[in-house]
Amino acid sequence: MTSTELDEHRTRALAAGCAPLVDAMGRHHQHQAHLPALQSPTPDRVLFGAAITIQFLPTLDDLPGADRGFGELFAEAVRDAPEGAVLVLSSGGYPHLSHAGGVKLVRVASHGLAGVLADGQLRDFAELAQHGFATWCQGEAVRWGGDSVMPYAANVPVEVAGVTVVPGDYVYVDAAGGVVIPAGSLADVLAEAEQIVADDEETLRRLRTSPQ
């Protein structure tokens, strides 16, 4: 996708908003695709872009491959990332513990990504707000979570709040919640969401003038 196409898709997704996008996904796919409302250091920043992923697992220090840190996995995740990608972090089963913070995630800004969707908590909301990208997660943590969860693999399918996110899927998150849209369905889902918005506006107009 060119940057012009990405901008156009982003503008259309933001204009539609979360609930119509979720309804539109429901008309094209049977699986669960919506994310209940998340928290953000900057709730006015909408997140939209193609997913790159880091899978977290419960900490297990003798698991082969478990010695790769966040920085190494981030470098692998971002290597062939599309422009304006979204870093998606799974929770490893501990959504209420910290998975990263202002220091680890400054890489998201240096690589020009659109932002972060984390199914766990994050530390340093004040720093994350300064970084400039959009961050959505399960809340702010103060305690380090590395004794309970570890980043384990990059760019594999991950689970976020009961939804499978495949690298390359489009992620949309605003203050209402989120939705995960397969890349191959993006055009259809955007068009469907726009139709839903138009139909809702028409219904509202009718109900305002002749309540029924």
182 binds ligand OAA (CB under 6 A): no
Q: Of the two residues 45 and 104, which places its CB atom closer to ligand OAA in the complex? A: 104
Give the one residue of 23, 119, 124, 169 binding Mg ion; rule: CB under 5 A: 124
Closest approach, Cβ 64 to ligand OAA, in A, equals: 22
**Which span sits near ligand OAA by CB under 6 A: 1-9, 58-66, 96-104, 188-196?**
96-104
Q: Of the two residues 101 and 151, which places its CB atom closer to Mg ion in the complex? A: 101
* Per-residue three-class SS string for 156-212: CCEEECCEEECCCCEEEEECCEEEEECHHHHHHHHHHHHHHHHHHHHHHHHHHHCCC
**Which span sits near Mg ion by CB under 5 A: 3-11, 47-55, 60-68, 94-102?**
94-102
**Which span sits near ligand OAA by CB under 6 A: 50-58, 75-83, 93-101, 180-188?**
93-101
Q: Is 123 annotated as a binding residue?
A: yes
89 binds ligand OAA (CB under 6 A): no
Cβ-contact 116, 87 below 8 angstroms: yes
Amino acid at residue number 98: S
Alpha carbon distances (Å) from 161 to 122, 169, 191: 15, 15, 26
Give the one residue of 34, 104, 107, 131 binding ligand OAA; rule: CB under 6 A: 104
Enumerate the H helices of the chain as residue ranges. 3-16, 18-28, 70-78, 106-110, 125-131, 186-209
Amino acid at residue number 128: L
Q: Which residues bind Mg ion (CB under 5 A)?
A: 101-103, 123-124
